[in-house]
Chain A
Amino acid sequence: MSNLNAVSFREEQGRYKGIFAWIFSTDHKRIGLLYLYSIVSFFLIGVLLGAAMKLELLAPGKTVMDPATYNAIFTLHGVIMIFLVVVPGLPAVFGNFMLPIMIGAKDVAFPKLNLLSWWIYVFGAIIALSSLFMGGGPPDTGWTFYAPYAFKTNTNMLPAVLGAFILGFSSILTGINFIVTIHRLRAPGMTWFKMPLFPWTLYGTGWIQILATPIVGITLLMIVGERVLNIGFFDPALGGDPILYQHLFWIYSHPAVYIMILPAMGAISEIIPTFANKSIFGYKAIVISTLAIAFVGYFVWGHHMFTSGMSGTALYTFSLLTFIVAIPSAIKVFNWVGTLHKASIQLETPFFWAASFLFVFMIGGLSGLALGALATNVHLHDTAFVVAHFHFIVFGGVGFAFMGAIHYWFPKIWGRMYNTRIATSGWIIFFIGFCTLYLPMFFLGVTGMPRRYYDYVENFHGPNIVSTIGSWVLILGLVIILTNLIRSAYKGEKASKNPWGGRTLEWTVDSPPTLENFEEIPVIDRGPYDYRKNPE
């Protein structure tokens, strides 16, 4: 029953023309795409910086850059990837585009605030990146801005820290918007437990965004105070305590890991039932484990600081809580695998991304437990093992879920289909490159190679060569994937409303959706993954 007169949101003529029709649009779908284009651009910068680091580590000694440049590059890589790419990644792009459609709404609760969030994001990004080009040189403290480096270094710390503070605002406003949207705008009949899982994870994420982000906000303001006013909260020379900075920083930054991973888990929970043609196994368990992760995630920050100096009681408590927070993640993995059990699986590109997500996420998660155990942590702290672990979670987990999500929702967003053969070969090359890049780092870490060093001793040479070659393979895969997607967005075959046979609401609207998504707000009378009866 598609309306012949309805035009898609991309063709709709608004008040403005050209680029202004996008950057002043309050349509959640256009804002989602604005985020997508900005985030992908920053991601590519981050990838190049990462590749530059790997190039430096190709051989011991100075290969292509001096130590100071290396410090600046790993700091920028971290700042860009964490604050500009991964934290806003899935919620800002797919959350904005899909959340209102998936819950049967015409837009988010506060469309203008939504546009403002994007503008704040861009403003924060410009401030943060301006640190590259100003007098003192780019910051070199690592993305954690640890005291006392952060106020002793002569590099441009202020713009980087202020940029991160402003980006936090954008994140908070998005969180508020999503929570209110979910509370107020669910379609009639969509009770909480009839809501799809991606909106559920956005709900959990929203709470972390509004309750954890202000802590890092105030902490970064205190760093500004240290540098500008010499307030001394974290300066031992003035009576302050640098360890307190680490606590405050991780009180946010550990929950931030769940801001990153929860929506990724949500996207995977959408992809798996669609390609398994089967209702998801343990829907409620996934919902409850999402909320459990969001809650327990607040109380594990100390595991970043096991070697910084804490009381024995604190050490044991944080270690125990770290093991507890792994349980809901494991529950989710069992649910996904349980969904695949005895399913008739469609082998399509999004499914390959989801399946490889399970693989890398498990390696990342289990290596996280090795780091959460006190004794092994002392050995592995600040080694390449840690770098491998969080790249498996943040790049492997979030990155693979992002890739899966973009291949899954591509026909809905652009109304066209990509070339699946090229997409799948891109995935294989990317996946091989990813494993070649990061697996050797586990071995390097166990044998004692520290992180954040531009140099290493001769015995680490072999695995480092493998790792660097992996980075080239990964970039090759990325180029194939991106060219395929960009080409298909213009020239791909027209996609139908529901190319994968999904059951959630976004597959009932046009591809691409019209401005108001639904001609008539649907009434919901069944669960989100009901594959028992044909909905047509």
Chain B
Amino acid sequence: MSTMHLHRDDEASKLGMWLFIFTELLLFAGLFIVYGVYRYLNPVAFHLAAEELSVTVGTVNTIILLVSSATIAMATTAIRLKNKQLTILLLLATLFLAFMFMTNKYFEWKGKFEHGIFPGSEDLLRLGHGDTLFFSLYFFMTGLHALHIIVGFVLISIVCYRVNNNSLTANNPVLLDNSGLYWHLVDLIWIFLFPLFYLIT
């Protein structure tokens, strides 16, 4: 419509992304409060229920996410070094790791479902209140986290596509930077989810 829409302010875009990240953190904060309250009220049940989850799968997924955070961080540097191929390679690596994470999650959830453990199931209700709450929280929180992984996956795919057709280069890397920030957020939330559900037993 006019010249003002050509105006670009990368600092503003990054500030906006940071504010959005604050919002996301508080979205999960609500769930962490619920977790804290119910852990306090049902210490024994939470302790025993946590032992049902496989620390191995959790650890593998944590490593996967940490490495993927590293690859996307390297991609933000690679694009500034004007190395298009390396940028794309690193972004594809991030996407592959995200896919691996979701695959692990899928098999983990599937195993639980096969044992009759899912929100509202008869078997879960038989286990008692503490276990019901633990697994409801587990599915709700990791489910919401998985949703964020999917959003991040789509976002990084778009970035990858745009790097490939040269519409995202060293001159305007802010979309890649912001996707990186978002991906670190997804990683950060997992860093809290992992000990809360897998390690504290």
Contact = CB atoms under 8 A, between A and B. Distances in A.
Interface of A: 14-15, 26-27, 106-107, 109-111, 113, 172, 175-177, 179-180, 183-185, 210-215, 217-219, 221-222, 225, 229-233, 238-241, 244, 248, 251, 515-516
Contact of A179 (B4, B19, B37): B19
Contacts of A244: 34, 37
Given A176-B20, A218-B27, A238-B129, 18 more contacts: A111-B5, A113-B16, A176-B16, A177-B16, A179-B19, A180-B19, A184-B11, A211-B23, A214-B23, A214-B26, A215-B30, A222-B140, A225-B136, A231-B119, A232-B119, A238-B133, A238-B136, A515-B2
B31 interface: yes
A109 B140 contact: no
Interface string B20-54: 10111011111101100110011000000000000
Contacts of B16: 109-110, 113, 176-177, 180
Q: Which 5 A-B pairs have the closest CB atoms?
A: A239-B129, A230-B120, A218-B30, A214-B27, A231-B136
B30 A211 contact: no
Interface in B2-23: 2, 4-5, 7, 9, 11-12, 15-16, 19-20, 22-23
A501 to B, nearest CB: 30
B22 A211 contact: yes
Contacts of A231: 119-120, 136, 139-140
Nearest to B33: A248
Contacts of B22: 210-211
B112 to A, nearest CB: 14
A26 B27 contact: no
A214 B24 contact: yes
A516 B4 contact: yes
B181 to A, nearest CB: 14
A231 B26 CA distance: 21
A27 B5 CA distance: 10
Q: Is the interface of A mostly helix, strand, loop or mixed?
A: helix
Contacts of B140: 222, 225, 231, 233
B136 A233 contact: yes
A412 to B, nearest CB: 20
Q: Is the interface of B mostly helix, strand, loop or mixed?
A: helix
Contacts of A225: 119, 136, 140
Interface string B103-123: 000000000000000011000
B168 interface: no
Contacts, number: 117
B37 A241 contact: yes
Given A211-B22, A240-B133, A248-B30, A515 B12 contact: no
B130 interface: yes
B34 A222 contact: yes
Contacts of B133: 232-233, 238-240
Contacts of B132: 232, 238-239
Contacts of A184: 9, 11-12, 15
A109 B15 CA distance: 11
A516 B2 CA distance: 9
* Residue of A219, A225, A516 with most partner-chain B CB within 10 A: A225
A212 B136 CA distance: 24
10 contacts: A106-B7, A107-B4, A176-B16, A214-B23, A214-B24, A214-B26, A215-B30, A231-B119, A231-B140, A239-B130
A183 B19 CA distance: 12
Nearest to B37: A244
A233 B26 contact: no
B5 A211 contact: no
A399 B136 CA distance: 42
Contacts of B19: 175-176, 179-180, 210
A217 B23 CA distance: 10
B30 A214 contact: yes
B55 interface: no
Contacts of A218: 27-28, 30-31
Contacts of A111: 5
B1 A14 contact: yes
B155 to A, nearest CB: 15
B30 A172 contact: no
B66 interface: no
A179 B19 CA distance: 9
A491 to B, nearest CB: 30
A180 B37 CA distance: 35
Nearest to A225: B140
Interface in B141-156: 144
A229 B121 CA distance: 9
Nearest to A15: B1
A241 B136 CA distance: 14
Contacts of A230: 119-120
A251 B23 CA distance: 14
Contacts of B93: none
